[in-house]
Structure 1
Amino acid sequence: MSIVIRPCRTFEELDACVALQSQVWGFEDADVIPRRALVVARKIGGQVIGAFDQATLIGFAMALPGVVPGNPPGCYLHSHMLAVDPRYRNQGIGRQLKLAQREDALARHLQQMEWTFDPLEIKNSFLNIEKLGAIVRRYTPDHYGVSSSRLQAGLPTDRLHAEWWMRSSRVNAILSGGARPIYNIEQTILIPAEIAQWKTAEATFAQAADAQLDCRSRFQAAFARGLAVVGFKTDSRGNGIFELASWQPSWKESQ
């Protein structure tokens, strides 16, 4: 299978991005990013990058420009949305889209990209931390408010904030398959393998909610102590395990 990764160019391709949001997340209209916003994102320095199987859009990533306060202020990209057609999952397309975002950003001399992700989604956490090299130092409870996403299943939209320092030694080592940095892991936070099933069953929904609250309190306490997520793994039962170490400013420095 030959998948082409390139910027979305036409209104029809942007309409396909809108349709894919509903397919992947089951969004109601109020939660869908409309074509108009995608057009604006492209024109103000953001990104709308698609994955295509021949002429069919099967995935996309959308980013917006952000400003870091300072004198002078800095710029970064906030990757707000990434979706892949369920029929094309587990083929590395999400990673390809992220790498295309990075390539475009570096060509424009940007150093940093950020995005949010649900800590209860184990596969997504593995991609962000282990496959891309993002680090995490922030946790926001109910970041987006009520969501119609079927993946959220009615739970608060708690989110971790990924920081992707795209030229850093850490990211370059992970993307190149080289020797990874060694960290002094001071804490781990476990995500139960059953969490996806607990969320979608009435009998176990309260169990999922309790697991989320426990996760929230552990992350907030860890970040308050100056720890950062630097690793992620799964155990023999499929539980997700975040690994945290004391934050070092050198981790974001360019090679």
Structure 2
Amino acid sequence: MRPEAAAAGKAGVELRELHEIPEFEQAFRLFDDIWHPEPLNAPVSVEMMRALSHAGNYVAGAYDGEELVGASVGFLAAPVGEVLHSHVTGAVRKGAGHALKLHQRAWALARGLDRVTWTFDPLVRRNAHFNLAKLGARPEAYLREFYGVMADEVNAGDESDRLLAVWRLTSPEAVTAASGRPYQPGRAAEAEPGLLAEYGKPVARVAGGRVVLVELPEDIEAVRRADPGAARAWRLAVREVLGGMMDEGATVTGFARGGYVVERQ
């Protein structure tokens, strides 16, 4: 069974591309329910989904009967004929997001594309684990203040640093993950702490070894609500440690032990 079909069956959803205005309206409402953005700050409009779909880009949904429980929107990117950029993916059913990403992978491979890219907040532990372990993608750039000020309930009050995830669709990491075995970096056990969580606060360490662990808070969104000062401290610490190492040429090889496993050259 194809990976996307197996994941869809496990989640109890049907995956399909979206082509009609009522479907795009469902996706718009789903994204609104997830992020609660300001009216002028929606992730993507109905009209834009219509245009992207019509032009041959990726707009798909995960359905439980007539209910849309997940949706994803992406567009073809440079280099031409090689890359799909996944702009937004959201789901309210466990497993639906994973099924959609595998559907997106199959869609891209069928069109001769060899990678999918997207951005994500480096502080959100569950997303980092999903992207790096469950999918086998890797962060390849640290992007400071990528979106500027974001007016939604999830991101409001924080700076919009992002990691650029690059999902090389036929890489050993992606193939391993697609088979149902979360990818684990081979040298995770020897990683030396470079950033630790101690009593909920970030503590940077001088790590001179080749393999470094950059730990994340368990739930940065809860930290933002309870202690904005601590959330900002985490933002600056991860920017300095992870962003700094990546700027110097280090490579994020996976996610394990609650953090990024980073290897220096």
2:141 to 132, 135, 138: 138
Identity %: 29
Distance in 2 of aligned mates of 1:110 and 1:183: 30
Aligned pairs (5 A) from 1:72-91: 74-85=81-92, 88=93, 91=94
Return the offset for 1:43: 2.5
2:56 to 23, 45, 48: 45
Aligned partners of 1:2, 1:191: CA distance in 2, in Å? 31
C-alpha contact 2:123 2:220 (8 A) present in aligned 1? yes
Q: Quick one: which amino acid aligns to residue 182 of structure 1? A: G
In structure 1, distance between residues paired with 2:184 and 2:149 = 38
2:15 corresponding residue in structure 1: 5
Aligned counterparts, 1:192-203, within 5 A: 192-201=217-226
Cα deviation code 1:98-157 (max 9, x no counterpart): 000000100001001100001111111110000000011211111111112211131011
Q: AA paired with 1:4?
A: E
Tell me which of 5, 8, 22 is aligned to 2:32.
22
Match of 1:216 in 2: 239
**Residue 246 of structure 1, CA deviation:** 4.4
One of 189, 194, 215 as aligned partner of 1:190: 215
Runs (5+) with no aligned partner, structure 1: 235-239, 248-255
Matched, 1:175 2:178: yes
Return the offset for 1:225: 2.5
Paired residue secondary structure (1:80): strand
Take 1:143 and 1:51, find their aligned partners in 2: how far apart are those partners? 28
- Matched position secondary structure for 2:78: strand
Provide the C-alpha distance between the structure 2 equivalents of 1:24 and 1:109, rounded to a whole number of angstroms: 32
Residues 153 and 200 in structure 1, CA contact (< 8 A), matched pair in contact too: no
Paired residue secondary structure (1:27) = coil
Matching residue's letter, 1:12: P
List gaps (5 residues or longer) in structure 2. Answer: 1-10, 192-210
Of 226, 229, 242, the match for 1:206 = 229
The answer to whether the 8 A contact 2:60-2:71 is kept is yes
Tell me if the contact between 1:44 and 1:65 (Cα under 8 Å) persists in the aligned partners: no
8 Å CA contact 1:134, 1:230 repeated in 2: no
Provide the residue aligned with 2:104 in structure 1.
101
| Equivalent AA in structure 1 for residue 235 of structure 2 | Q
- Matched residue of 2:127: which SS? helix
* d(CA) in 2 for partners of 1:228, 1:43: 38
Instruction: Quickly say closer, same or farther: Cα 1:109–1:188, change in 2 above 3 A.
Output: same
Secondary structure at 1:188 match in 2: strand
4+ runs of 1 displaced by more than 4 Å? 177-181
Query: What is the alpha-carbon root mean square deviation over aligned residues?
Result: 1.9
Structure 1 residue 229: Cα displacement:
1.6
Partner of 1:66: 77
Contact 1:128 1:134 (8 Å CA) reproduced: yes
Query: How far apart are residue 194 of structure 1 and its match?
Result: 4.7
Amino acid paired to 1:208: A
Letter in structure 2 aligned against 1:219? L
8 Å CA contact 1:174, 1:180 repeated in 2? no
The one of 155, 178, 193 equivalent to 2:158 is 155
Aligned amino acid, residue 212 of structure 1:
R
- Residue 90 of structure 2 aligns with an amino acid whose one-letter code is A
1:118 to 111, 117, 121: 121
Asked if structure 2 preserves the Cα contact closer than 8 Å seen for 1:145 and 1:157, the reply is: yes
Measure how far apart 1:2 and its partner are.
Answer: 2.8
Number of equivalent positions = 232
Cα displacement (A) at 1:74: 4.9
| TM-fit CA distance, 1:183 | 4.3
What's the TM-score once normalised by structure 2's chain length?
0.82
1:78-97: CA deviation from partner (whole Å, max 9, x where unpaired) = 00000112xx2xx2111100
